[in-house]
Structure 1
Amino acid sequence: MSETAPPHRRPVGPVPRRQAISRLAPYCAIVALLPIGGCSVLDHGILGAAGPVAEQTRSLFLLVCAIMILVAAPVLLLTPIFAWHYRLSNTESAYRPQWGFNWPLEGLIWIPPTLIVIVLAVILWRDTHALDPYKPLASPHAAVEVQAVALDWKWLFIYPNEGVASVNELAFPAERPIHLSLTSGTVMQSLFVPRLGGQIYAMAGMTTQLNLAANAPGRFRGENTQFNGAGFQNQKFSVLAQSNDDYARWLARARAGGRTLDPAAYAALTARSTQAEPILFGSVTPDLFRSILARNDPGMQTAHGHHPQ
């Protein structure tokens, strides 16, 4: 009879292809992620905060990370130590199969995690209310009122006090906060400007609110973070925090364009398409935002004498 390898040893011979691939997979993943190190990720996320809301969000994120390290660090440190100490070949350490309880060890296991949960609960409760997206931002200047409408696959911004509108371009003076009232002309979507902070959903027939501000003039990226079909990846828009003079020139340029945002123009915008360049409208039909809401809210349709077609 031919001898076979002992059950506790790996047979000598060529390694199967599937097994070899599984061993190489982690290294391939690491190599694939190396190019990301050259990306300027901080320029686009909350870690590159450029407004008071984003700064508070970043501070909360870093604080929570620091607290969670208190949980992760002992686990990462003690796991290899325990594995080494209780290895099968270690026959010199004490072996106590009847050992079952130890007050200091139980306290170490339960008291620190309990304190961490309590501290996190207090911090998150406090900061969740402080970062309420509906809460107006403290400022000596009145906020710029903007009505945002989520479409497929673009964003419409209406400035009711200025009488202008834009598609895929949100402009406001950096010296003033901006207050957005949001709805959707189609499926549910989510507006997010990472460097200014805040993410809020927009739903048909409903309004949500978001308050943002910028510390200084700059150009930022906004996006929809709720998947809504084939054009989702291109539903980005520019956010322009401008000086007062630049904002005045932006308004003048919009008004000089001569375009009017009326129900017919809005109906054209609702067609599923991506918008390569921003569009500016020099005038807007009064109460257009309210009429968009009424299309998807039976209560408003009844109140205003509208009936679904």
Structure 2
Amino acid sequence: MIFLGGCHTAVILNPSGQIGASEKTIIIVAAILMLIVVLPAIFMTFLFAWKYRESNKTSTYKPRWQFSRTIEITIWLIPAIIITILSILVWITSHTLDPYQPLKSDHNPLTIQVISLDWKWLFIYPKQQIATINQLVLPTNVPIHFRLTSDSVINSFFIPQLGSQIMTMAGMQTQLFLIANKPGTYHGISANFSGLGFAHMNFKTIVATNNQFERWVNKVRRNTNNTLDYQQYEQLAKPTINNPVEYFSPIQSNLFFEIIHKNMTQK
């Protein structure tokens, strides 16, 4: 797993965000701790098979051997210590990496509302009054507060190089805090099978400098005359595969919460 870090496709081990970097550390530490048990076990399997082979006449033969205090202490104490360390690690990181936990920063969080559809992603920037399909643009070093829901089946929102995945469910709202520390273009995916177009339910995540982000927002506002109200949304929500990137502005107020309420009240 550690050697895979040199492969550009092993994106989880090549993080570009604070949460992703913390998760990489956990993966590596946990792998090393487990290898303390696994590697000696594999080594001894081959060692014993070679040393006590039938043709080896010099190996010690003890047919009545039953117990060794040293072996018993070793095989129980070392795994117990490792399990204890892993338990403490899991307890601490379950709280520090809680997806609902706001991230400390000098910048105010940017709220983005996310709706998983068949088979595309809708991103609403309520404060900026813009929305996009299958393209997510983020400023560097600014905490992002994602509010997520689904207007279809259960799905999973995941940008591997930035951090945690989180489920989206109809009639419910989940939350996720992430932060991107390096400008670049990253791959976002659906991490939960959702039907025919699942394999194409990807989106591009562009992390830009703060000035670039502001220019992009102004460009979308200025060059887009495509209002996203509830009526337009109903057309947009129809199933499509490989939906191209689209931009909308302005956005109907509270559209995100209307969609949640609609799915809460459906029978």
Per the shorter chain, which TM-score range? over 0.9
Provide the residue aligned with 2:111 in structure 1: 145
Deviation at 1:274, TM superposition (A): 2.1
Deviation at 1:216, TM superposition (A): 2.6
Contact persistence 2:118–2:240 (CA under 8 A): yes
| 1:184 has 2:146 as partner | no
| 1:108 has 2:77 as partner | no
| C-alpha distance in 1 between matches for 2:81 and 2:71 | 16
**Cα pair distance change 1:291/1:276, threshold 3 Å:** closer
| C-alpha distance in 1 between matches for 2:83 and 2:7 | 35
Provide the residue aligned with 2:252 in structure 1: 285
**Local SS of the residue matching 1:297:** helix
| C-alpha distance in 1 between matches for 2:216 and 2:248 | 11
Provide the residue aligned with 1:162 in structure 2: 128
| C-alpha distance in 1 between matches for 2:21 and 2:187 | 16
Provide the residue aligned with 1:195 in structure 2: 161
**Local SS of the residue matching 1:260:** coil
Provide the residue aligned with 1:265 in structure 2: 232
Provide the residue aligned with 2:101 in structure 1: 135
Q: Which whole-Å deviations, capped at 9, do the CAs of 1:60-84 have from their partners, x for residues lacking one?
A: 1111111111011101111111111
Gap runs ≥5 in structure 2: none
Contact persistence 2:159–2:187 (CA under 8 A): yes
Provide the residue aligned with 1:229 in structure 2: 195
* Match runs of 1:1-309 below 5 Å: 40-42=8-10, 45-255=11-221, 256-298=223-265, 308=266
Q: Which whole-Å deviations, capped at 9, do the CAs of 1:205-245 have from their partners, x for residues lacking one?
A: 11111111111322111110100111111111111211222
| C-alpha distance in 2 between matches for 1:92 and 1:66 | 36
Deviation at 1:40, TM superposition (A): 2.6
| C-alpha distance in 2 between matches for 1:55 and 1:225 | 20
Deviation at 1:95, TM superposition (A): 2.1
Structure 1 stretches of 4+ with a deviation exceeding 6 A read 36-39
| C-alpha distance in 1 between matches for 2:82 and 2:97 | 22
Contact persistence 2:157–2:166 (CA under 8 A): yes
Deviation at 1:131, TM superposition (A): 0.7
**Local SS of the residue matching 1:223:** strand
RMSD over equivalenced CA pairs, Å = 1.8
| C-alpha distance in 1 between matches for 2:172 and 2:13 | 31
| C-alpha distance in 1 between matches for 2:186 and 2:60 | 62
Q: Which whole-Å deviations, capped at 9, do the CAs of 1:117-152 have from their partners, x for residues lacking one?
A: 111101111112111111111111111101100001
Contact persistence 2:140–2:209 (CA under 8 A): yes
Structure having the higher Rg: 1
Contact persistence 1:168–1:275 (CA under 8 A): no
Provide the residue aligned with 1:305 in structure 2: none
Q: Which whole-Å deviations, capped at 9, do the CAs of 1:22-68 have from their partners, x for residues lacking one?
A: xxxxxxxxxxxxxx9996314xx121111111111111111111111
With CA pairs under 8 Å and 6+ residues apart, which has the higher RCO, 1 or 2? 2
Q: Which whole-Å deviations, capped at 9, do the CAs of 1:233-268 have from their partners, x for residues lacking one?
A: 111111121122211221122212111111122112
One-letter amino acid of the structure 1 residue matched with residue 130 of structure 2: V
Question: Identity rate of aligned residues, in percent?
Answer: 38
**Local SS of the residue matching 2:163:** coil
Deviation at 1:91, TM superposition (A): 3.8
Contact persistence 2:227–2:249 (CA under 8 A): yes
Gap runs ≥5 in structure 1: 1-35, 299-307
